[in-house]
Structures are given as C-alpha cells and as structure tokens.
Amino acid sequence: MANVTSIINLRALRQSCGDCGLNQLCLPASIGGHDLDRLDHVVRQRPALERGDILFHEGAGQPALFIVRAGSLKTYTTLAEGDVQILGFHLPGELVGLDGLSAAGHRCTAEVLERTIVCEVPFDSLAEVAARIPGLQQQLFRIMSREFSRELEHPVMMGRKQAISRLAIFLRSLSERLEGIGHDPHEITLSMSRQELANYLGLVIETISRLFSRMQTLGVLKVDRRTVRILDPAALAMLAEMADDESF
C-alpha cells in the first residue's frame, strides 16, 4: 500500500508542476520515492507573492535559485545615477536568481508583477542533492544553458535600430516561451506596464503605444488593454528580422 501511495503522490506532483521548471529540474524521469524525499527537504514553496513584492534585493546575501510556478516577475538593476534598468521578465517554468551563482549576493532585484508563486532552492543545498541524484545535474545544466541563452536576446534586441523590430522580437520571444509551457502562443497577457516595457526595450512609452497601433493597422496584432493577440505570426517574424535600413 505504501508503494501505491508513493506512486500516486509522485504522479500528482508531476502533474501539478506541468507549467514549472521543477517538472524537469526536480523530477527526472528516473526519480524514485527516496530521491523525491531528498528534494522535498531542499525545495521550498514560498507563500504567494503580490504585485510589488520583492523576491530578493540587489546585493542580498545567501543567494538562492527560484523557479516561477505561477505569475511573473521582473528583474532590474539600479544605476549609479539612481535610474532603474529592467533586465528581464520571467514567466512560469523559468528560473530567477542565476545572477547569484558567481557572487556573494544577487546582482539585481526581482520584483513581482502579479500574484506569483515560486519555489526556492538554496544553491548550496541544490549542489549537494544534484550530486546524489542521477541525471539531475545534467538537467540543471541544460536548463541553466537555456536561461543564459534567453538572456542574450536582450543585448541583441537592443542592438536593433528599428524600434518596431525590438518590440516584434520581444513579442515573438514571449510567444515562444508560452508555447514551451503548453499555453496558447498567439495570446499574450502583458503583466508589465507600458512604462516597464518601454524601459526594457530602451524606448519611450509614446513609441510603444504608436508601435502597437501600427502593428494593429498592419493586421499583425490585435491589442485589448494588456492582452495581445498575434493574428499573423509570419508578419511578426518578418518585423523581428527586418534590417535596420528597411522601412515598414
């Protein structure tokens, strides 16, 4: 009976993590009940966070890795003159806190954009458990590589002179990330404000509004407040790949 209960609980846990990086990070296909117990002592689900809550501050010691189970966050750094630069937006199934791997503390601040649930994994504990569970370390490296690759999108995007290309690249990336966790890739709910989006893209809020209007006129998108419906994915891709000397 104990084995049957263990199988049922494990199956339920896997299903509950369907949108979460823990589904790959903490639950390799070969994991058994004993290894699951080890992870249970390491992975901690935090109480739900609300918009404006701070997950961790820039410079905070004892860095940890966080996996977004539901909701979304933004990460940002404070510049010398006091201005804020948004570094990224993080969705369900994605990792937050990798900046603390090579430092004594986090190098950015993570702030909640909407009601959000995260799981916390202290770096020291994760390394210890990963060394004991076959396959977990390799999966961890793969997921970290994916996150680092995603972070490279920002400097590439900022290198584009065409403002519409920056926005198109961002929306295409969000669409691909949503598809990766089983959500509709053509319907995006923007949890960030237009001002936050403008900051991330290196634009002004008036330009963001103008670009959304232009994309609607072109039949690429339909925008209803925070909901963006992609009507023509191919056209969005063309805008994302448009050369700096092209016009639209």
The predicted-structure confidence for 121-168, as pLDDT tens digits, reads as follows: 887 777 777 777 766 777 777 777 877 777 777 777 777 778 999 999
154-240 has which fold? Answer: Arc Repressor Mutant, subunit A (1.10.10)
pLDDT of residue 40: 62
pLDDT of residue 216: 98
Q: Are 89 and 200 in contact (CB under 8 A)?
A: yes
pTM of the model: 0.82
Q: At what angle do helices 123-132 and 33-40 cross, to 10 degrees?
A: 170
Residues of the chain with CATH 1.10.10.10: 154-240
Q: Which helix (H) or strand (E) holds 236?
A: helix 233-240
The set of residues, in sequence order, having a beta carbon less than 8 Å from that of 93 and lying 6+ positions away, is 19, 20, 21, 23, 67, 68, 180, 181
Distance CA(214)–CA(155), nearest Å, equals 24
CB atoms within 10 A of CB 149: 9
> Which residue type is seen at 150?
R
Residues of the chain with CATH 2.60.120.10: 2-151
8, HSE (Cβ side, Cα atoms, 13 Å) = 5
- Segment 47-57 shows an average pLDDT of 95
Burial of 77 (0-12, 13-18, 19+ CB in 10 A): middle
Cα end-to-end distance, the chain, whole Å: 66
pLDDT of residue 9: 42
Integer CA distances (angstroms), 208 to 48, 108, 157, in order: 31, 25, 15
pLDDT in tens, 63-81: 788 989 889 999 999 998 8
Distance CA(178)–CA(88), nearest Å, equals 15
Q: Which helix (H) or strand (E) holds 75?
A: strand 73-78
> Where does 2-151 sit in CATH, by number?
2.60.120.10
Distance CA(56)–CA(61), nearest Å, equals 9
Joined together, the tokens standing for residue 136 give 């977990």
pLDDT in tens, 158-193: 777 789 999 999 999 999 999 988 899 999 999 999
Residue 128 main-chain phi, psi, to 5 deg: -65, -45
